[in-house]
């Protein structure tokens, strides 16, 4: 593989959950190029399966799409040093009101490798116990439960388009269904 070298990295904007950088890169043909980078601290998501086999989903408004989406519970790490397992447990309880002490890593994904380093670890939670839902001040969502077949149909009908959700559900289906 050819050599690439970062000559400089400039912070363009600092956001609440991401930072935007522009890198000046020396590319293999000797030229320089400007590449964008969205720096993200990481996230965790949970495929939460109730005892009846239904999967817990959250329906919420997403500003980037200007519409509601149906997703698996998820949220950002509270810093790069936070273990994703801890974030997964926290987000499961915050968003759904369920707790689980024994989570299993299903998959790790990078959401948009061309310009973003966001990594999401996706966990499986079974043997759920009732906890207490406590949403963030700016979070408004509904918790819904679906069968695996219903969710797969929504994926294949392009009704579920969120990448972490698709990956989590299909990985679970591949390993356990």
- Reference 38, options 121, 118, 120, 119; nearest CA is 118
Per the CB < 8 A criterion, the answer to whether 88 and 124 are in contact is no
* Domain at 41-176: CATH code: 3.90.79.10
Q: Is 76 helix (H, G, I), strand (E, B) or coil?
A: strand
φ/ψ of residue 119, rounded to 5: -115, 130
- Reference 70, options 157, 2, 159; nearest CA is 159
Q: What is the pLDDT along the chain (177 residues), one digit of tens a residue?
A: 679 999 999 999 999 889 999 999 999 999 999 999 999 999 999 999 999 999 999 999 999 999 999 999 999 999 899 999 999 999 999 999 999 988 999 999 999 999 999 999 999 999 999 877 777 777 788 999 999 999 999 999 999 999 999 999 999 999 997
Long-range contacts of 4-11 (CB under 8 A, 24+ apart): 4/28, 7/32, 9/37
HSE on the CB side for 147, CA within 13 Å? 3
pTM: 0.92
Q: Is 86 helix (H, G, I), strand (E, B) or coil?
A: helix
Residues annotated as catalytic (active site), given as ranges: 137
User: How far apart (Å, rounded) are the C-alpha atoms in residues 27 and 60?
Assistant: 41
User: Tokens 């388009």 belong to which residue?
Assistant: 161
Domain ranges, ordered by start, for the chain = 5-39, 41-176
User: Tokens 């999967």 belong to which residue?
Assistant: 55
Helix and strand numbers, DSSP H then E, in the chain: 3, 12
User: How far apart (Å, rounded) are the C-alpha atoms in residues 152 and 158?
Assistant: 10
Please give the pLDDT value at position 72: 98
Per the CB < 8 A criterion, the answer to whether 71 and 143 are in contact is no
| Residue 23, token pair as written in the block | 């890198």
Please give the pLDDT value at position 1: 67
Please give the pLDDT value at position 175: 95
């Amino acid at each position: 593989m050819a050599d690439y070298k970062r000559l400089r990295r400039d912070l363009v904007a600092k956001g609440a959950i991401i930072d935007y950088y522009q890198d000046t890169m020396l590319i293999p043909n000797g030229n320089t190029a400007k590449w964008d980078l969205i720096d993200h601290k990481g996230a965790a998501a949970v495929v939460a399966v109730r005892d009846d086999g239904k999967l817990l989903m959250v329906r919420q408004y997403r500003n980037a799409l200007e519409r509601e989406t149906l997703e698996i519970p998820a949220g950002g790490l509270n810093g790069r040093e936070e273990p994703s397992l801890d974030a997964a447990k926290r987000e499961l309880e915050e968003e759904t009101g369920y707790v689980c002490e024994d989570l299993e890593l299903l998959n790790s994904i990078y959401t948009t490798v061309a310009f973003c380093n966001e990594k999401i670890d996706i966990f499986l939670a079974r043997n759920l116990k009732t906890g207490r839902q406590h949403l963030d001040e700016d979070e408004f969502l509904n918790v819904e439960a679906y069968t695996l077949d219903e969710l797969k149909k929504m994926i294949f009908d392009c009704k579920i388009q969120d990448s972490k959700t698709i990956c989590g559900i299909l990985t679970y289906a591949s390993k356990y269904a």
